């Protein structure tokens, strides 16, 4: 797939990967951030945000992300 994913494709990829969160960025011309989030949400039921300036997320054991299980090949459940 050349170039960037569309918002809908990003949503499908997040759903397929069972991601805990999707952050939509690089929204194409003619699509607002709100529209991009809605397009992604049609494919993915998890937490979705648009990467607005100044937005940040924590990752790691203290943020409810079990990094050890993912990196160490845990159960994958």
* Tens digit of each residue's pLDDT (9 = 90 or more) over 52-65: 888 887 776 555 54
For residue 27, the model assigns a pLDDT of: 86
Asked if residue 8 has pLDDT above 70, the reply is yes
Alpha carbon distance 16, 24 (integer Å): 16
Q: How does the average pLDDT of the chain come out, rounded?
A: 79
Tens of pLDDT, residue by residue over 40-54, are 999 999 999 998 888
Q: Which of 1-10, 15-24, 48-57, 67-76 has the lowest average pLDDT?
A: 67-76
Task: Locate the domains of the chain by residue range.
Answer: 1-54
Residue 63 contacts by C-beta under 8 Å, 6 or more apart in sequence?
A: 57
Bigger pLDDT: 34 vs 1: 34
């Amino acid at each position: 797939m050349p170039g960037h994913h569309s918002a809908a494709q990003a949503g499908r990829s997040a759903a397929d990967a069972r991601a805990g969160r999707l952050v939509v960025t690089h929204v194409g011309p003619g699509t607002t951030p709100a529209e991009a989030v809605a397009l992604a949400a049609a494919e993915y039921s998890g937490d979705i945000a648009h990467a607005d300036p100044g937005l940040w997320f924590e990752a790691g054991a203290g943020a409810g992300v079990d990094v050890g299980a993912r990196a160490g090949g845990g159960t994958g459940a």
